[in-house]
Structure 1
Amino acid sequence: MPAPLPHEHLPSVPALTVESDDVQDGGRLSDLHVFNDWGMTGQNISPHLRWSGAPAETRGYAVTCFDPDAPTGSGFWHWVLFDLPASVTELPAGAGTGPEFKGLPTEAVHARNDYGTKQYGGAAPPPGAPHRYVFTVHALGVDKLGVGSDASPAVVGFNITANTLARGHIIPEYGI
């Protein structure tokens, strides 16, 4: 039985529509979005994401990527991005990948992921069954979460959940 998805235990909120030119729900991640370390030879580029359908009172967004299938007992956070302005409804490929973070608004904040870096970190599952990568966009009722970039993914996630008005996701898979 697969691990529960992170949004399955959260309070119910309206759904955002999340789309991508790079990843498809239920599809396979390409090597563009796979980690380039830990025995992997991907390009570690964050995928393009676009979203719509946020409530009128949305004041900001957060974007996360979580692997609930990682053999850690607590999953694995690949991307934790927050304080995106409400005017932003699309991120180009590479927006979460440093050091340039091309196309990322200057107000946006990366918290450290479970690799220990403040950027997108691609898929790097151990051999075996494919893992799910839950790319989630959260419409928030605040423009700033009030936490810093050194906050853990759990602390950022707590603040995201407390302020979420709507959320949507795309869940591609990757395995070796």
Structure 2
Amino acid sequence: MKTPIRAAVLAGVLSLAVAPAALAQVSRSTPGQPEARTALDLMPAKAKLTVTTPAFKEGADIPFENTQYRTNTFPGLSWTKGPKATKSYVLIMQDNSLLLRGAPILHWTLFNVPASVTKLDAGMAPTGNPAGSSYGPNYKGASQPYTGPRTPPGPGDSYHFEIFAIDTTIPDEGKSSYEAITKAMEGHVLASGEVVGHGIADPSAPPPAPRPAAPAPK
């Protein structure tokens, strides 16, 4: 159970990125909680992709430069080639340490990455995604580029950079609907893999601005 102080800190930090109406729906997950399952957990594949990033090693801290605390620079990703029948790749980034509306917080989606592509360069610009690919939604809305962590103070969060090789492509509805992406993926995942980074709060960041006080009752 969160203490009042912990809950206040969490709400204050998340208020920088999550709409006020959603704050009441944010909670910290517990080990083994079904709602904390990521897309990779929900859509397992027989074959495995090895996923790496030049920014950090598996399980290590994500550099602040790759977070919203600093420059929000894309960390870069590489993965092994999918099976022969692969038509495209889907990339999903989720924080399953915190739950928004009962599900891992969605930071980034990129779909219809061509089967010939197995690397996204570090520092990739928002408009630098591979030709033919499209950004899907994240917690900010539709068609969003990479949105790195802004981890609240505390033990830190786990950020899953997941990659799926699929034997199909995703319809345009995926630009605005995470459900459309995952529905189109069902039964088509040939291989998958992930690299997980640990996000922490930047100790040099200024505290979040206070939320406006509610108007006094008349």
Match of 1:51 in 2: 79
1:26 to 37, 48, 59: 59
2:195 is aligned with 1:170 = yes
Match of 1:65 in 2: 93
SS of residue matched to 1:158: helix
Tell me, yes or no, if the aligned pair for 1:70 and 1:125 is still in contact at 8 Å.
Answer: no
The 2-side partners of 1:133 and 1:62 are apart by: 16
Tell me the TM-score normalised to structure 2 length.
0.70
Deviating runs (4+, > 4 A) in structure 1? none
Tell me, yes or no, if the aligned pair for 2:174 and 2:180 is still in contact at 8 Å.
Answer: no
1:21 is displaced (CA, Å) by: 1.0
Match of 2:110 in 1: 81
Match of 2:47 in 1: 14
Alignment of 1:11-160 (within 5 A): 11-35=44-68, 41-72=69-100, 73-95=102-124, 97-98=125-126, 100-101=127-128, 104-116=129-141, 118-142=144-168, 144-160=169-185
1:62 alignment partner AA: V
The 1-side partners of 2:165 and 2:198 are apart by: 24
Query: Which 10-residue stretch deviates more, 79-88 or 154-163?
Result: 154-163
Match of 1:38 in 2: none
Tell me, yes or no, if the aligned pair for 2:88 and 2:115 is still in contact at 8 Å.
Answer: yes
1:109 is displaced (CA, Å) by: 0.3
> Identity, % of aligned pairs?
25
The 2-side partners of 1:89 and 1:82 are apart by: 13
Query: Which 10-residue stretch deviates more, 152-161 or 42-51?
Result: 152-161
Q: Deviations over 1:107-132 (max 9, x none)?
A: 11001211226111010122212111
Q: Point out the structure with the larger helix share.
A: 2
> Structure 1 pair 160/32, CA: closer, same or farther in 2 (3 Å)?
farther
Structure exhibiting the larger radius of gyration computed from Cα positions = 2
2:117 alignment partner AA: V
2:86 alignment partner AA: T
The 2-side partners of 1:26 and 1:110 are apart by: 26
The 2-side partners of 1:70 and 1:151 are apart by: 22
Provide the aligned length of Structure 1 versus Structure 2: 166
Tell me the TM-score normalised to structure 1 length.
0.85
> Structure 1 pair 47/161, CA: closer, same or farther in 2 (3 Å)?
farther
1:171 is displaced (CA, Å) by: 0.4
